[in-house]
Amino acid sequence: MLGAMSAPRPSPPRAARPPRPAPPRPAPAARLLAGDAGGRVRLYLGECRGLGAALGAEPLDLVYADPPFGTGARRRGRAGLAFSDGARGGPEAYAAWLVERLAPLWERLGPAGSLYVHLDWRSVHYAKVALDRALGARCFLNEIVWIYGLGGSSPRRWPRKHDTLLWYARTPGRQWFEAPRVAARSRRLAGRDKKAPSWWDIPALNNMARERVGWPTQKPEALLERVVRSSCPPGGLVADPFAGSGTTAVAALRHGRRAVLCDADPRALALARRRLEALGVTWAAG
Ligand SMILES: C[S@@+](CC[C@H](N)C(=O)[O-])C[C@H]1O[C@@H](n2cnc3c(N)ncnc32)[C@H](O)[C@@H]1O
């Protein structure tokens, strides 16, 4: 029998396995990097999970969180500026990652405080369920649809041209809120203004926008002005744990509020510092 007599075939050489990408190095815990002389803004550098514990005793009036969306993509801005939108093992793991970072800040909100969580179609539904469980479904007040309009559209599906902001109140019914006014569109109210609806038609920053500083996913100031002015009282304190280029603090300081920013990337905070200096901020520390 030919088969029995033949020598065992040498197994084919194994294709060399590509080296596993190193797991992202955990950012160090947030530490105070700088604060301004007037006590209007503080910047924390590092992992925002510990931010709640690092803050002083003063309660927060508002938390706005614009986290990485967990797409696994690399978000690129200008001049080589980029951050990893880290895949976190699927949408449920992503939602758990997010809750772990937001729950301590939720605990720091005063009784009239609000939390806004800015997400997109990939993770918003998972995050909503996880946040409802962690914070209490009754604290969920509404979702804001931010229509940003920019980007291409496919002939094969409805274009994805909005993000969702989930709005939670620490004590539903007691939240500080001042409805912003927008121009009315109906013929009946022509030339008048009305309370803003729950969908916000605010253009995203185009490449030529004057306020653009180069950080990927930088949000328009008009968007943050609406969040801050509607849900943080004058003189109040807003925290942004995923601050990027500091748009939240720019909106807060412009409108007489104070801000605490945190980001794991020193390049983001360098941009935030520059934007705040342009508003007259001088630094007392860092
Ligand atoms: C979507 S961007 C925020 C953009 C910002 N709203 C703006 O207008 O520029 C998300 C930010 O979260 C930061 N980040 C990611 N993981 C973080 C973590 N665990 N702790 C603190 N910051 C983190 C990234 O460096 C990035 O700047």
Q: Where are the domains of the chain?
A: 39-281
Sign of the CA dihedral running 228, 75, 119, 48: negative
Instruction: Tell me the CA distances in angstroms from 285 to 41, 85, 129, one per residue in order.
Output: 11, 30, 40
Ligand 1 atom nearest to CA at 48: 20
Q: What is the DSSP letter of 150?
A: -
Model confidence pLDDT, tens digit, residues 15-47: 555 555 454 566 788 999 999 988 999 999 999
4 φ/ψ angles, rounded to the nearest 5 degrees: -70, -30
pLDDT at residue 28, as a whole number: 86
Distance (angstroms) between ligand 1 centre and the Cα of 191 equals 39
Q: Pairing mode, if any, of strands 109-119 and 60-65? A: parallel
251: Cβ–Cβ under 8 A, 6 or more apart, which residues? Answer: 221, 224, 225, 227, 228, 229, 257
**The tokens of 31 are what?**
């530490």
Distance (angstroms) between ligand 1 centre and the Cα of 8 equals 57
Measured distance CA(149)–CA(222) in Å, rounded: 14
pLDDT at residue 166, as a whole number: 98
Residue owning tokens 């990027």:
244
Which of 94, 242, 260, 269 is the pocket-test mutation for ligand 1 (most atoms within 8 Å of CB)?
A: 242
pLDDT at residue 6, as a whole number: 46
Q: How many CB atoms lie within 10 A of CB 254?
A: 14
pLDDT at residue 252, as a whole number: 98
pLDDT at residue 89, as a whole number: 80
pLDDT at residue 239, as a whole number: 98
Cβ < 6 A, ligand 1 pocket: 27, 47-48, 66-68, 83, 215, 217-219, 241-242, 244-245, 247, 262-265, 268
CB 166 within 8 A of CB 150: no
- Spatial CA neighbour of 99 closest among 88, 83, 84: 88
Ligand 1 atom nearest to CA at 262: 21
Q: Which CATH architecture has domain 39-281?
A: 3-Layer(aba) Sandwich (3.40)
Q: Whose CA is nearest to atom 7 of ligand 1?
A: 218
pLDDT at residue 184, as a whole number: 85
Q: Whose CA is nearest to atom 17 of ligand 1?
A: 264
Distance (angstroms) between ligand 1 centre and the Cα of 242 equals 4
Compute mean pLDDT per 10 residues along the chain, 286 residues long, and list them: 48 55 67 94 96 92 93 65 68 93 97 97 95 98 93 84 97 96 84 91 92 94 98 98 98 98 96 97 81
64: Cβ–Cβ under 8 A, 6 or more apart, which residues? Answer: 116, 118, 224, 227, 228, 238, 239, 240, 248
Q: Which residues pair with 247 in a beta bridge?
A: none
**The tokens of 276 are what?**
């705040």
Q: Whose CA is nearest to atom 26 of ligand 1?
A: 244
Which of 263, 269, 275 is the pocket-test mutation for ligand 1 (most atoms within 8 Å of CB)?
A: 263
Report the b/e string of 72-98 with b at 16+ CB within 10 A. eeebebeeebbbebbebeebeebbebb
Q: Pairing mode, if any, of strands 74-76 and 60-65? A: unpaired
Measured distance CA(273)–CA(275) in Å, rounded: 5
Model confidence pLDDT, tens digit, residues 123-157: 999 999 999 999 999 999 999 999 998 777 788 99
| Chain length of the chain | 286
